[in-house]
Amino acid sequence: MDSSMQLIPYFMVFLPGLLIGSFLNVVIHRMPREESIVFPPSHCPSCRKRLGFIELIPLLGYLFLRGRCRACGAGINLRYPLVELATGLLFVSVYHHFGITPEGVAYLFLLCILLAVFFTDLEHRRVPNILVVVCLGVGLLWQLLQLVSLWISTQIFPAMPVIPAPPLSLGQALLGLALGGGVMLLIMILSRGGMGAGDVKLMALLGFYVGVPGTLLVFFLSFLAGGLVGVVLLLFKLKRRKDALPFAPFIVVAALIEIFWGNELWQWYLQFTLGR
């Protein structure tokens, strides 16, 4: 097959990713301000003018307008095209890594929520409860529906198709949730507020989706990244020792690494330790 033809599926996946990224921008901007994500329609934050068709085109609209509102000339936050591009690339990466599978859909949904969390915590120092609750609720509903459909197909209607199983069993998911939320809650208590409640809820959510091994890896990578960035900021005097640093972005980056390369990292670690 011609190489250009092989890129078509990736392009078809990238386009809806841009659209979802545009929606995530609405979530990131409005949810921390406790505004509706539906009404009013998309508008300029400065002059409140409703956006036109060109302005609503993901990524390209920013380029056409050269980063400024067509009505008032106010600068458009660079976060808008970045989120749209990042979401498109997430769609492509999940498709390449997992294909169109239930596992891929689950991780794509989680990663979109995490992307919104990354920027809301970075900009507003908040992890919206609704994002965590919705993502956890969808994961739990899938687990329960799969168990119910399995029971019905084995006990009542043998010909009934079974809902595809989630990446983890319900027991593994609940253990991950308890580990992630429990350890982070202990850290929050011992640090006397140095770690926020949003980080506790976020780690509990991740534990539900990635299980115990994945949660351990996320803990290690997030604290490693947070420590390194903190040291760099102190060395360049961009932060002082008592300044707070949003931690959810480090958790999100660690979760991204775990989802795409977690198995490889664990295999490398076991080979390194057992082969010594």
**Neighbour-count burial for 28-50, b at 16+ CB within 10 Å, e otherwise:** bbebbeeeeeeeeeeebeeeeee
Residue 105 within any structural domain of the chain: no
Domain that holds residue 76: 1-94
Residue 57 within any structural domain of the chain: yes
Give the rounded percent of residues in the chain with a pLDDT score beyond 90: 58
User: Over 90: is that where the pLDDT of 162 sits?
Assistant: no
pLDDT digits (tens, 9 = 90+) for 208-256: 999 999 999 999 999 999 999 999 998 988 888 777 789 999 999 999 9
Residue 16 within any structural domain of the chain: yes
What pLDDT is recorded for position 133? Answer: 95
What pLDDT is recorded for position 78? Answer: 93
User: Over 80: is that where the pLDDT of 275 sits?
Assistant: no
Residue 116 within any structural domain of the chain: no
What pLDDT is recorded for position 276? Answer: 57
The pLDDT of 106-112, averaged and rounded, is: 95
Residue 264 within any structural domain of the chain: no
- How far lies 123's CA from each of 30, 78, 126, 152, 186, in Å? 12, 13, 8, 47, 26
User: Over 80: is that where the pLDDT of 107 sits?
Assistant: yes
Residue 231 within any structural domain of the chain: no
Residue 65 within any structural domain of the chain: yes
pLDDT digits (tens, 9 = 90+) for 45-102: 888 888 888 888 888 889 888 889 888 888 989 999 999 999 999 999 999 999 989 8
pLDDT band at 165, cuts 50/70/90?
confident
User: Over 60: is that where the pLDDT of 263 sits?
Assistant: yes
pLDDT band at 4, cuts 50/70/90?
confident
Q: How many of the other CB atoms lie within 10 Å of CB of 161?
A: 8
The pLDDT of 3-29, averaged and rounded, is: 91
Q: What is the largest CA-CA distance in the chain?
A: 67
Tokens of 205: 């959510």
pLDDT digits (tens, 9 = 90+) for 17-28: 999 999 999 999
Tell me the C-alpha distance between 116 and 25, whole Å: 8
Give the rounded percent of residues in the chain with a pLDDT score beyond 70: 98
Tell me the C-alpha distance between 5 and 20, whole Å: 24
Residue 1 within any structural domain of the chain: yes
Give the E-state strand segments of 118-245 in sequence order: none
User: Over 70: is that where the pLDDT of 1 sits?
Assistant: no
Domain tally, the chain: 1
User: Over 90: is that where the pLDDT of 134 sits?
Assistant: yes
Tokens of 169: 């069993």
- How far lies 134's CA from each of 40, 139, 159, in Å? 22, 9, 32
Query: How confident is the prediction for the chain on average, in pLDDT?
Result: 90
